[in-house]
Structures are given as structure tokens and as C-alpha cells.
Amino acid sequence: MNSPWEHKRFAEESLRRIDAAFLPGTSQEVDFLEKTLGVAPQARILDLGCGAGRHAIEFASRGYRVVGVDISPWLLDAARQRAAAAGVEITCLQGNVAHLRTLLGQTAAFDGAIAICESGIGVLGGWKADLAFLEAVKAVLKPRGRFVLTTYNGLRRYRKWEEGDERFCFVRGIQHWETPPDWGGEERLVEEQRLYIPSELRMLLEMAGFEEVAIYGCAPGSFQGQPLRIDDIEMMAVGTA
Ligand SMILES: C[S@@+](CC[C@H](N)C(=O)[O-])C[C@H]1O[C@@H](n2cnc3c(N)ncnc32)[C@H](O)[C@@H]1O
């Protein structure tokens, strides 16, 4: 299945929304990520689904060595341009995080990894593919390296489901998503996303071999390690390799 992010128009429209809604909170988020990953400048950070590089560039400007991976060539172009404008270097790799081991090679070793804001997990083709992705992330982390991801809080979707709503299959936990007819692109883009409830996400990380797994609430510009509330849109998971 092609990802909507591989379409230029979709990527550009999405970037406009990300810049408006999320960019201003990035510095606070990186403050929290630095602390939670337990890293210091010069450490190697892997940013999965890095998009236009808002976290990657902020980390690099603080002295970290950053590799960003993203499926969208358009967003990676934006990341390269923004890094150059900020006077920092980041390494950008284009590809699907489902093929992380091939993309990074067998010798990759990172001090910490992040996947913020729906950046892979859930859209890779089901829980087995998500598990394989998490195993690959664990394999490229140094011992005791930490991984922080944020994704939709499936609990909220289950609670909002109503009779006749066919966009969410609550038995399989799959959300069907498509661009509205008037979205402006030539073709309609569709995506099936596996939404996890917190206990499933915790279990998946533990199955992948992560330890000390914790689930928190989070909102743009408000990463505090706060308790997850049942109707939060997003949740955060932290695991130690
Ligand atoms: C909502 S954006 C978030 C971008 C960035 N992490 C941020 O917080 O600004 C989701 C990102 O995940 C990327 N993405 C989605 N599926 C992916 C996949 N299978 N492999 C690599 N990147 C993916 C998209 O291209 C997009 O840049």
C-alpha cells in the first residue's frame, strides 16, 4: 500500500498544518525528550518519521548527531533546507521505517530514538509489522538506549464509536481513513491505521524486548510525562532497550 505521505500535495498540505499547530511547541518537546532519553550533546539520535525535521533540527542545534528517516521525499527536502537555514547538519534517509534494518545497515547504534506524531507505527500493515518495526528500533539502540513514541490513543476512538460508523472496525482496531472528495489532489488517498489502546501498545513494546515501558499522556508543546487521560488524542510510550 502506498503511503499518502508519498504524495507531494498531501505532504505539503500536511506540513502547513504541522507548522501551524506543532512547530511552536517543538523546543519544549525536545527539552522533555532529552531528559527522558537520558542523552547529552554529541549523542546519536534517530528520528523516525522525522518529516520536515522539527525535532531533528532542534536536537542538532543542541549539539546532537541526528539521523532522520522519512518516507516522504518532499518533507525530507524541506528538512534539508531548514537544517541548512538553521546552520546545522542532519543526515536524512528516505524510506519506509518498516525496512529500518536495510535503511540503516547492521552496524547502526543510537543512544536514543524518537517517533513523534504518527510517524510509522500503526500504518505499517498491522500489529505484526508494527512489532517487527519495534524490534528493529530496539536492535539499533545501544544497550539501555531509550525510545519515545507518540501515537493516537485508541481508547478515545473506541469511546467515540457509534452504531453505523464503518470507518472504525473496533474488532480489529483498524481506522479507515481517506481524503475528502474536495481535498484538491487528483486521486483519493486512503490509509488503514491500527489504533492501539494503551495496554496493547505497552504489550507490543514489551514483546519487542523493551523494558521499563511507560505510557503517558501528551499534547503538542506539552510533553510532561503526565498521566494519560482516557480522552487524550495522543499517548506517549517510553521503553528502554
Ligand atoms: C504527522 S507527521 C510527523 C512528522 C514529525 N515527526 C513531526 O512531529 O513533525 C508523520 C510523518 O511520518 C512519516 N511517515 C509515515 N509513515 C511512514 C513510514 N512508513 N516510513 C517512514 N516515514 C513515515 C510521514 O512522511 C510524516 O513525515
Q: Rg of the chain over CA atoms, in angstroms? A: 17
Boundaries of every domain in the chain: 4-152+196-240
Cα separation, 192 vs 177, in Å, equals 6
Residue ranges in the chain whose pLDDT is less than 50: none
Rounded (5°) CA angle 194-28-43? 85
What are the pLDDT digits (tens) for 82-116?
999 999 999 999 999 999 999 998 778 999 999 99
Would you state the pLDDT for residue 169? 96
Cα separation, 187 vs 78, in Å, equals 24
Would you state the pLDDT for residue 32? 98
Rounded (5°) CA angle 131-93-38? 65
CB of 120 shorter than 6 A to ligand 1: yes
Question: Is 4-152+196-240 assigned to CATH 3.40.50.620?
Answer: no
Burial profile 157-178: b = 16 or more Cβ within 10 angstroms, e = fewer? beeeeeeeeeebeeeebbbeee
Mutation probe of ligand 1 site: the residue of 1, 2, 5, 75 with most atoms within 8 A of C-beta: 5
Would you state the pLDDT for residue 185? 82
Would you state the pLDDT for residue 119? 86
What are the pLDDT digits (tens) for 140-169?
999 999 999 999 999 999 999 999 999 999
Whole-model pTM: value is 0.97
- Which atom, in ligand 1's list, is nearest to the CA of 97? 20
